[in-house]
Chains A and B, each alone.
Chain A
Amino acid sequence: MTEGTLRAAAPPAVHPREGDSQWAIAARRFRRDRLALGGLALVVILSALAIFAPLAAPYDPIAQHDIVATSLQPPSPAHALGTDLFGRDVLSRIIYGARISLTIGFLAVIISVTLGTLLGAVAGYFGGWADTLVMRFTDTVLAFPRLILLILIVALFHPSVLLIILVLGFTQWPGTARIVRGEVLSLREREFIQAARALGFGRARIILRHIVPNVLGPVIVAATLGIGNTIVLEAGLSFLGLGVQPPMPSWGSMVADGRGNLIGAWWVATFPGLTIVLTVLAFNLVGDGLRDALDPRLRQ
């Protein structure tokens, strides 16, 4: 009988439906969180727009016609969000820009999360010099100012989407690694890991089948929030002209383009800017919702 008094004051545990995995329970909790669902809806819509851009966008994002006639048109039935300096439809450019931002965001985060999880798990599980080695390496990478590093690399080499993804991915993993290492350190002493060792399971099996699935919760949350972070970073890069090169549309460069004419043609910079904000907000809401849904209080 080891329940502390205050734990006794928590409402009694419910008997979940049969066969419910922890993921299923978390999914149900997530579904009840309206803000999180709203964020998720937004993410889904954006992703759909990005994937089906050619179908969704009303105009070609880079085509230029009679510039004089079409330049800097305010929002109208023909152009829902107006046109930019070169007469290109802002809405279409935003939709195509989503492709860039979301692709970079997702891929960079996948790289960083995978790398971070593996390194963090190794450091946490083996301890000793492996831990020291990995953690000092982590600290070193963390010490690099990411934006400046990005600018450097992009300036040195040709700025391409792939390069940006790689650089962002390989500099974002320390955060995840630290989180994972902490989780693994506490998991390592839990009895079911001791039991796995007592049952003769090898180290690789223990790490991959028993430890990693149990640290995925915080990792998923970190990943989701990381996507938002990456998108902002990429937007910043493009704003500085160092990201995806024109004429490919990118939200950041669109904001830069419209910067000079904020009063006369506010729509050119404002709508891309708003899109950035909404997108990051959406991912953050999803991340928060996931964190609440995976609440460790449930892991009793």
Chain B
Amino acid sequence: MSGDARPRAPAPDADGPAGTDVLPARVSAPLLSVRDLRTYFHTDAGVARAVDGISFDLRRGEILGIVGESGCGKSVTSLSILGLVPDPPGRIMPGSSVRLRGRELVGLPVRELRAVRGADIAMIFQEPMTSLNPVYPVGDQVAEPLRLHLGLSRRAARTRAVELLELVGIAAPERRVSEYPHQLSGGMRQRVMIAMALACEPDILIADEPTTALDVTIQAQILELIAGLRERLGMAVLLITHDLGIVAETCDQVLVMYAGRAVESGPVESIFRMPGHPYTEGLLGAVPRLGEDADRLAVIPGQVPSAYAWPPGCRFAARCPYAWERCAQEPPLLPGLSVPLSGAGVAEQGTAARCWLVEEPERRAGAGFSSGAEAAR
């Protein structure tokens, strides 16, 4: 771990003058450290600021969930970490930093980045259907990273591939290893993807909506597998999803994204019990819950603004039931601690919300998301 001896200079805030994104301190040094990541798309229609200044840490053995809806930038974030954003039109802007064990990944020549991909950081995607090459047996595909990064011989790689298939819970792995992707079900294909990702024993697994395309019973299997791997191998997992249920059950820490930025971060229990940011609150209210007899769901009115033209000030202000003049003018920073809704007065430890309510909590009273609304206009 290099360069951690002296204190790192705080990264400048993306949208304003001096101000820092100070994240609450946690115990051990982070494995992956993202600071002020900005990924913009330069197109004929303008510049889309898909990821606009996001910072977070990922520690060994931790499962961090990044949750948000479509267009919030969570997938682009994961692709940016591994430098997989198509360039052009996408580009990681200068000033962004992604450090793996202290080593800067942004700006690395492709050759060196390739050595990182698969070996230190591995990624699995949403569509198991199209993520596997249909013309090669799955065993070969699992063996490929082994041969590439670890230089194993064909025989050794095949043996290890069988071991890996067993590790991810595929029955009769010796037989499966020579089968083709179309012979496997969606759940099994996703397991194969995980096996491929684990082949070189990476420290970090990035899982981008790994279960969205799967049935719920299969989803349960895969999530259990991922959690189990964390237990057994001490892997850190960056889990990207839109499903709050998955976050609640699988993740330790959560980062809520909206309009290209992190709007709330902290331990899962705290955030779910007492969300600090109105968007988080709205999301939690909009999800139908099993066993709860709610007549109508709370609704977040309006729509996400365009990435080509983020509004000034707080990007959620137009849809926020608590917003006041300050919100539209000044973009809030992400420092400090959020204040619980119940107003018990004791701030939750380790949570942070990008919202002016943190400074003026009394404005929460008397407002909230309304149920039964359907406003779309």
Contact = CB atoms under 8 A, between A and B. Distances in A.
Interface of A: 1-6, 8-12, 14-15, 32
B50 A12 contact: yes
Nearest to B88: A11
Interface string B65-101: 0000111000110110000111001100000000000
B183 interface: no
B128 to A, nearest CB: 11
A14 B42 CA distance: 12
Contacts of A2: 212-213
B272 interface: no
Q: Top 9 A-B pairs ranked by shortest CB distance?
A: A8-B75, A11-B41, A14-B45, A12-B307, A1-B242, A12-B48, A5-B208, A5-B125, A11-B43
A9 B85 contact: yes
Most chain B beta-carbon contacts within 10 A, residue among A4, A8, A14, A32: A8
A5 B308 contact: no
A11 B87 CA distance: 11
Nearest to B50: A12
Contacts of A3: 70, 75
Given A2-B213, A14-B308, A8 B44 contact: no
Contact of A9 (B70, B75, B130, B242): B75
B57 interface: no
B20 interface: no
24 contacts: A1-B70, A1-B242, A1-B243, A2-B213, A3-B70, A3-B75, A4-B125, A4-B126, A4-B127, A5-B75, A5-B78, A5-B79, A5-B127, A5-B209, A8-B79, A9-B76, A9-B84, A9-B85, A10-B86, A11-B48, A11-B89, A12-B308, A14-B43, A14-B45
Contacts of B209: 1, 5
Nearest to A2: B212
A4 B84 CA distance: 14
B159 interface: no
Interface of A is mostly: loop
A6 B243 CA distance: 19
Interface of B is mostly: loop
Contacts of A6: 125
Nearest to B212: A1
A5 B126 contact: yes
Given A3-B70, A9-B85, 5 more contacts: A1-B69, A2-B212, A4-B126, A9-B76, A12-B50
A8 B86 CA distance: 11
B178 interface: no
A4 B240 CA distance: 12
B306 interface: yes
A8 B76 CA distance: 7
A12 B90 contact: no
Nearest to B73: A8
B69 A9 contact: no
Nearest to B309: A15
B125 A9 contact: no
Given A9-B76, A9-B84, A4 B308 contact: no
Given A1-B69, A3-B70, A9 B212 contact: no
Nearest to A11: B41
A106 B243 CA distance: 55
Contacts of B306: 12, 14-15
A3 B241 CA distance: 11
Nearest to A16: B45
Contacts of B212: 1-2
A9 B126 contact: no
Contacts of A4: 125-127, 130
A235 to B, nearest CB: 39
Contacts of B48: 11-12
Nearest to B80: A9
A9 B90 contact: yes
Contacts of B307: 12
Interface string B173-216: 00000000000000000000000000000000000110011000
A5 B193 CA distance: 14
Contacts of A15: 306
Contact of A11 (B69, B90, B125): B90
A6 B242 CA distance: 16
Nearest to B47: A11
B90 to A, nearest CB: 7
Most chain B beta-carbon contacts within 10 A, residue among A10, A12, A14, A32: A12
Contacts of B208: 5
A14 B127 CA distance: 25
Nearest to B130: A4
Given A1-B212, A3-B70, A15-B306, A9 B79 contact: yes
Nearest to A7: B75
A12 B84 CA distance: 17
A14 B307 CA distance: 9
Interface string B286-320: 00000000000000000000111000000000000
Contacts of B125: 4-6
Contacts of A10: 86
Nearest to B127: A4
A9 B45 CA distance: 16
Nearest to A3: B70
Contacts of A9: 75-76, 79, 84-86, 90
Contacts of B85: 9
A16 to B, nearest CB: 9
A14 B47 CA distance: 10
A6 B90 CA distance: 12
A112 to B, nearest CB: 35
Contacts of A14: 43, 45-46, 306, 308
A11 B86 CA distance: 10
A15 to B, nearest CB: 6
Contacts of B90: 9, 11
A57 B213 CA distance: 66
A30 B8 CA distance: 50
A5 B125 CA distance: 6
Contacts of B84: 9
Most chain A beta-carbon contacts within 10 A, residue among B126, B130, B306: B126
